[in-house]
Structure 1
Amino acid sequence: MNQTPFIAVEGPIGVGKTSLSRALSAHYQFELFQEIVEENPFLGKFYDDIEEWSFQTEMFFLSHRYKQLEEMDKKYLSNQLPVISDYHIFKNKIFAQQTLSDKHFSKYMKIYDILTEGMPEPNVIIYLNASLETLLNRISQRGRQIEKSIDPAYLERLSSDYERFMQEFEAHHPDIPVLRFNGDEMDFVSNQQDLHTIFQTLEQTLKEGDPVK
C-alpha cells in the first residue's frame, strides 16, 4: 500500500461524497480535491438527451479528472502530502459503460487506459450508497439547476452499476480497503456521532496500513 494517505470518497450522484470529503479534509488537514461538475458545458444537454451528448460529456470529465490526478501526484503524493478526493477516476468507467454506445465505449477505454497508466491509486476508498428515494431527496435539497432533469431510472441503474463495480473492485484489489457506509442509516452532515464513526473507522484502517502521518 502507498504509505501516503490517498483517500477517495465514492458513490452515486447525491449520496454525499462532497460533504464527507470536505469534513474529512477539515478534520485531518489533508489537501482536498473536488471533481468538476457544473463546469462541464455538456452536462445539461446530457441529462436532456443522454444518447446524443454522452461521448462529449464523458470525454470532458476524463480529461479534467486526469489533469487533477496528475497534479495530485506531482504536487502532493510525490512529496508525501496526504490527500482527500471526492471521486476517483475509475468512476469514469462506470458512467461511460452506462451511457456510451459499444463503438464509443471501445474508443473511450483506449484513451482511458493510456491516460491512467501509472497514475496513483487510492489506498483507502470510502464507498457511500443509499436508496433511490434518499438520493433523489438529497439531489432536490441541494438544488442544482443542472440536475433537475435527471431521470430516476438512470440514477437507479447508476446505483446498481456502482454496487456491481465496487464488488468487482474489492475482489480484484484486496490490498485497497473499501469502507462502506449506508446513507439511509447514517446522516454524517447533521449527526456528529455518525461522522465520528466514519473518522474512527478510517483511522483504524490507516493505522493498520501504517501510513505516514
Structure 2
Amino acid sequence: MKQGPFIAVEGPIGAGKTTLATMLSNELHIPVVKEIVEENPFLDKFYQNIDEWSFQLEMFFLCNRYKQLEDTGLQYIAKNKPVISDYHIYKNLIFAERTLKGVQRDKYRQIYHLLTDDLPKPNIILYIRADLDTLLKRIKKRGRSFEQNMDTAYLQQLIEDYDEAMSSIAAREPSTTIITIDGTKIDFVENPEHFAQIASQVKELIR
C-alpha cells in the first residue's frame, strides 16, 4: 500500500522544528509527533561533560524515538493517514557520530540500525537551515537552562553535519522530497506571510 504523507521537520538545535511542526499540524489538521527532549535525565550532565555522558544521552533519545515512531507507524502510516513529526530518526546518527568515539560509536551504530532500519521513513522533510547567530538568539530566547552555555563550536559543527546529512538522505532516498527553509531570512513565527508560503508548499505536496 502506498504510504500517506509522513512529514518530518528537521534542523540543528534552535532552528524552530517543534514550533513549525506544531503550526503546520494546526494549519493542516493532522496529528503531530513531538520528540522528548527535556525529559532526558542526562541532558544537564551531557552539556557539562560531553565525553562522559554522550552514550547515555544518545541511547535514551534513540530508544524513545524508536518507540514513538513504532507507534506512529501503527497508528497512522499503516492506515495511510498523514502525520507530522518534529524530527527524523536519522538525527540520532548526526549527533552520535559527532559525540561518540571508538567502541561506543561502533556499538551505537549497530543498535541504531537494528532498531531503525525497518521503521517508516518520512517522504517529506522540511529542513530549517540557519546560521550560528540566528540559532544562538533562538536558543537564548527559549531559555532552556542546559542550553545556555552551549559550545558555539559544537553548534557550528552541527550546522555543517546537518547539511551533509540532508545531502546523504537525498542521495539515499530519492523518493523523499526535501524542502530547505532559510531560517536566517525566513521567520515563520513573526511573519505570517512566511509561514503561509511554507504551508502552501506542503499543501501542494500532500494534495
**TM-score normalised by the shorter chain: which range applies?**
over 0.9
Output the TM-score relative to the length of structure 2: 0.97
Q: SS of the counterpart of 2:194?
A: helix
Contact residue 3 and residue 77 of structure 2 kept, 8 A: no
Aligned pairs, number? 207
Contact residue 129 and residue 183 of structure 1 kept, 8 A: yes
Contact residue 7 and residue 124 of structure 1 kept, 8 A: yes
Match of 1:67 in 2: 67
Structure 1 portions without partners, runs of 5+: 208-213
Paired with 2:175 and 2:102, the residues of 1 have a C-alpha distance of: 31
CA distance 1:104–1:2, change in 2 (3 Å): farther
Paired with 2:166 and 2:103, the residues of 1 have a C-alpha distance of: 25
Match of 2:99 in 1: 99
Paired with 1:2 and 1:47, the residues of 2 have a C-alpha distance of: 42
Contact residue 2 and residue 123 of structure 1 kept, 8 A: no
Match of 1:199 in 2: 199
Q: In the TM superposition, what is the alpha-carbon distance from 1:110 to its structure 2 partner? A: 0.6
Match of 2:138 in 1: 138
Matches within 5 A, 1:177-196: 177-196=177-196
Q: In the TM superposition, what is the alpha-carbon distance from 1:44 to its structure 2 partner? A: 0.8
Matches within 5 A, 1:1-150: 2-150=2-150
Deviates more, 1:72-81 or 1:153-162: 72-81
Identity of aligned residues (%): 49
Code of the aligned partner of 1:44 = D
CA distance 1:138–1:2, change in 2 (3 Å): farther
Deviates more, 1:78-87 or 1:122-131: 78-87
Code of the aligned partner of 1:156 = Q
Q: In the TM superposition, what is the alpha-carbon distance from 1:136 to its structure 2 partner? A: 0.2
Code of the aligned partner of 1:94 = I
1:155 corresponds to 2:155: yes
Match of 1:176 in 2: 176
**Root mean square deviation, CA, Å:** 1.1
Match of 1:211 in 2: none
Q: In the TM superposition, what is the alpha-carbon distance from 1:61 to its structure 2 partner? A: 0.2
Task: Give a deviation string over 1:80-120, Cα, whole Å, max 9, x none.
Answer: 22111000111000000000012211100111111113110
